[in-house]
Each structure stands twice: as structure tokens, then as C-alpha cells.
Structure 1
Amino acid sequence: MYRALLIHPDWNMADIQRHVGVADEEIRASLDRLTKVSLLRSSATAEQFVPVNPQVGLGPLLDEIKAELDERQAKLSRAQATVATLASEYTSARVQAGAEGVERLNGVENVRARLTELSQQARAEVRAFMPGGVLSSAALEACRPLDQHNLDRGVRMQTVYLDSVRNDAATVDYATWFAARGGQTRTVPSLPMRLILCDRSVAVIPVNEEASREGAFVIRLKSVVAALDELFDLVWERATPLGEAPAIDGDEPSERDLALLKMLEDGLTDEGVGRKLGVSIRTVRRLMADLLKRLNAQSRFQAGVEAARRGWL
């Protein structure tokens, strides 16, 4: 009916009934609905109606829908965060209850001692995710003797750091030394967790990623270790060898862009994003500003919509 009135704005009720071919009651109900959503307004002649520009008439309704969607998205993010927290607590409770194939290590010193033991016992490979900021020169030097011992034994060693370590001379020097002896180092914009894998049979993960002092779990459950190995393989394939610049394509999202968008989708704060990327809050805000500019977006919500439209998500 709205389209008919766009083409024939001079039609009255009789014309509409004659040409549209519906009952008088249905016509009146439809006119009432169109008037209610501001697509029609009454003319000086009571029996005629003037179509309103849909962009003008439906603008407030679309704004209302968008506001509702924003609120639902915020609720979804909060709900996802709650579910993740509960799932972590559930898993922790089950493990601490004494699940077979899981060992709980309490305290940083116990974790370090167990990691050294596992690394020395490795026969074929040791692979690791190393999230967080850059390591101190002292920490890197502490790793050197054990890494040297394993590499001399022919153990394959692969380590994934955050891209932020590329700006740290000590880490780059260590990676150069590591590579010269057969070790492999790559970087990615973000890592899901701290992880040590030995011989595809043992995995070490923190009890709480945000508080290393709470200890770690040593996991020997085959299905869990296999899943973590698969995760490492997926991250390793997309990581960039240290010494090479991450590829940037002007028409496609970079790994860093995708990581930022995923964190926005997960509802992380700037502080949370900074911890994941191993950078300062100031750097996070600069990266976010660059991403919004690239997507021609005025807000982070709009950036997410535009990224989805482009098929980045």
C-alpha cells in the first residue's frame, strides 16, 4: 500500500480499495499502521495520505533498534565473561578434586623446578607459548644453559612470543643465538595462555593466567594434551619468524587487526587487551584508533559492524 501511494500520491480511500483489491477494514488498518510508524501523514483532505521519506520516517525507529542491539551486545559480552569465569572455576574445582593425570603445583618456585625437570626429561621436543611483556636480560640468561643443553641433545625447540618483543634488543639477540643452534622463535599479536608442551605427552598451564603465583597444572591426559598440541600447531602456522616483519596487506586485516577485533568481541577492557598484547594502555588506545581509522568507524561498536560487513569476522 505504501508503494502504491508513492506512485499515486493523489489516491484516496476509494482509489486504494479499487486498485489494491482488499477489504475496507484491512485498508484502514494498514493506513493506521503506516501512520503509526511515520511512513504516512494525513493531508488537508481527510481521505488522502502523503507518503513520508522512509529515511526520515523510520530514522527514530532505526535508532531505537540500534540502541536495543547495543544493549543486547553489552549484555552478551557480560554473559560470556561470566560463563568463562564459571567454566574456569568448574574446571579448577574438578582438577583440584584429584582428577587422574593432573598434577597441581603450588607456588612459583615449585613450578620453575618442575619445568626444569620436564625439559631435561624431554626426548624429542619442547614447545612454548610465552605471553606477557618482554623478558629481562637476567631471565633470558637464566634460560640459556637449559636451552643449550636441550638443543645439543637434538631436542626440537619452538617458542612463540608476542609481537611486542620485536622492539626489545635483548630478546632479539637471544632469539638470534637460539636460532643459530637450531631453535625456532616466532611471534603473534596475542596468545591465548602461557603453555609448555613436552614430547606431545605433557602440558603445563597456569592455574590462573592473571596470577602466576597461584601455581600450575601438569597435565598428562591424552585428549587434553592432544587438543593443546593442535592449538599450538594452529598458532605456530600463523606466527611470523622473529627477524621477519609481519606481512601487511592494505586490503586485508592483519593478524593484529583480527586479534584486536576478537578482544573487542570478547568485551575486554583496554587493560585486558594490554595484558594480552604485552603493551601499555597508551599503545592499546593508539592501536584501537588506527583500527577505527582503517575501518572508517567512529566507535568500537561501529568498527565491529564494519569488520563483519567486510568479512573480517
Structure 2
Amino acid sequence: MTPDADLGYRALSMMGPHTVARLARELGMSQRRVSRALDELAAVEAVRPVRTAANAGYCSKDGLVWEAVALDRVLHTLRQRRTPDSALERWRRHITTVSGVGLMALEDASVRRWPTRATARQRASTLIAAERHEHLAINTEEVFDAESTAAALPLDNSMLARGIRLRVLGRPPSDGDRSSAYATALGRSGGMYRELQTLPLKLMIFDRRVAFLPSDPLDLEKGYVEVADAEVVRALAGMFDRLWADGRDPREQGVPPIDLSNREQSLVHLLAMGYTDQSAAQELRLSVRTVAYTMRSLMDRLGVENRFQLALLLGAAGAAPQPPRYGDSDTKEA
């Protein structure tokens, strides 16, 4: 979802039903932006309009009040719409690609087969160590977890430190998570990462001289094929360039990681838990003016207009605890 839609959904989830006008006032946004965000959310059944007497006090001129659909139902709907590729589809894409570049007709002299994943990794490490100019990679996994990301970054950074140009293509995560931590971390070191919904095969290309791809796209434990034929490698590199041109940087719509200082972390945590500026200042042994200055500086740095927007942005990025949601038992009692 776009940042506006994400913001709108979180606001309705925590504050309850709102009209467009009232939600725009709360978020400090124009009604046009809020309407577009609600249209986007309604298209995936994340929000719905209601016309009930119970909400009469909130009604707009057209009688519409918008409320958020329960998160578990939203996620279920999104996952149903995103049907995972079947094994047959993945196999067909792989075979079509290798056939199209003439790989199946190559002589054995230009092809080496590494029979297991372990031997393939050792060979890939040797090829990476010998690279001097450029490394291209396509990852077809739909789930690239934090552990895999943490393991990949040191190798990526070592290549970048040697002056190698690194470009990586991946797929958007199947669960809809728009976190862009990997793209951000890679970008800080000078690497580039883009995503594309459909990728034909898993692939590595070393200095546009050698290509590395799985022997069996459905079982990576069966090893990899190394190709040194100039025409085939050129065709695969050209395919990568075309896919790259169509890819999108996930940071354009994702939620970038937010780094807070120790003081900012402590202050944000207390305010999210219901402390006032004065009580938070007493707890942290700061002046009220310092608390206000810290919050204003943080809002300016993150480009938000008020504390409500700041709270939602920090919550979306996982940099602050989420405040109670509308309908929670503790909210009702309060």
C-alpha cells in the first residue's frame, strides 16, 4: 500500500470510524489525499463505508463514515489475491528461459555442473573472489527472512568494498510486508536492489563472463550449472538488464527503517504509553522544553506535520510500541 493508505488504515484502526473530513483534520492532510487513500484501501477491502444510526454524530454530507476492517480479515483477503506460483509455472519459466538463450544446445566444454548445493556455494565463493567489475543476481524466493538478509549483507558489502557494482533483483514478499530494510542497508553501501513480481529464474552473473543457475529450479539441493559461453552469458545479462528496467525500488512505497537515539527511543516509548510531556520529562530527568524540542526535531527529520502522524510512522516502522487500538478492552474501559 502507499504510505497514505497505510497511515489511513492505522488511524481508523486506532481511533474508530471517521468521515473523510474528520480523518483529514486528524492526519493534517487534504481531503483529496485522504479520499484517494480510502479508495485504495476499499479496493482491497481494508476499509468499508457504514451508514448506521450509531455513527450519526460523525456523519458527513453524504452520510458516509469509514471504518477499518479487522486486520486478520484484511491479511486473509490480500493473501487470497496473491496466489503463489505453482511448481509447474516455476519450472516452465526456467526451462523457457534456458531454452531461449540456447543453453540446452551448448557443448559440455562450456558448461560445468556442480552436483550439490554445498559444492555450488564453494564455487560461487571462488567466482565472487575473482570478480573485478560487476555482480548481477536474481533471487526468486518469495520469503527472504531477516536471517537470510543478515547472512547476505556481509558478502554484499565485501564486494562493494572492492569497487564491484552490485545489482540484485528480488520478488515482493508474499505476505505483503513492505519493509525495505535490505534495500536500505544495501543502498547505504552503494549496492542497488529492485523488485519485480515475476522473475524467470534464479541467477548469478559474474563480470558478464560466467553465469550460475540452478540445475533444478524446484530443488536447489541438486546443485547449479556454471556457463562460460560468451553468447549465452550475454543473452542472460541482457535479460537481466530488461528486467531491471521494469523493477521497482521497494523504498519508494515501503516503510524505511528509522534510527532513533537513546533519548528519542526512551521519550517515544513513554509518550506512546500515555505519559504527558511533563511526566515524561520528570521520568527522564529532562526539562519540558527539551522534551518539546526533541519531538519537534524528530518530526522535522521524518517530514511529518504533527505528533499523531509521527506516532503512526514510528509504529509502522517498528520504532515505537503501538498505542491501543479502537475496540480494545482497555480502550473501552478508559
Q: When the two structures are superposed, what TM-score results if normalisation uses the length of structure 2?
A: 0.44
Which structure's relative contact order is higher, taking Cα pairs within 8 Å and 6+ residues apart? 2
